[in-house]
Amino acid sequence: MKAPKKIKLIAFDVDGTLTDGTLVMGPEGEAFKLFNAHDGLGLSLAHRMGYITGFITGRKSVLVKNRAEELSCDFVLMGIKDKVEALEELLRKYNLSWDEAAYMGDDLNDLPLFEKVGFSGCPADGMTENKKAASFISTCNGGRGAAREFIETIMKAQHRWKEGVSSYDKGQEIRQ
Q: For the segment 55-92, what is each residue's pLDDT rounded down to a tens digit? A: 999 999 889 999 999 999 999 999 999 999 999 999 99
Residues whose CB falls within 8 Å of the CB of residue 98, separated by 6 or more in sequence, listed in order: 91, 116, 117, 118
Report residue 133's pLDDT band, with 50, 70 and 90 as the boundaries.
very high
Residues whose CB falls within 8 Å of the CB of residue 55, separated by 6 or more in sequence, listed in order: 11, 12, 13, 14, 18, 64, 68, 73, 75, 76, 77, 78
pLDDT above 90: percentage of residues in the chain: 79
Report residue 9's pLDDT band, with 50, 70 and 90 as the boundaries.
very high
Name 25's bridge partners.
31
Q: How far apart are CA 174 and CA 17, in angstroms?
A: 21
Which amino acid would we find at residue 30?
Answer: E
pTM: 0.93
Q: How far apart are CA 104 and CA 36, in angstroms?
A: 15
Pairing of strands 75-77, 136-137: unpaired
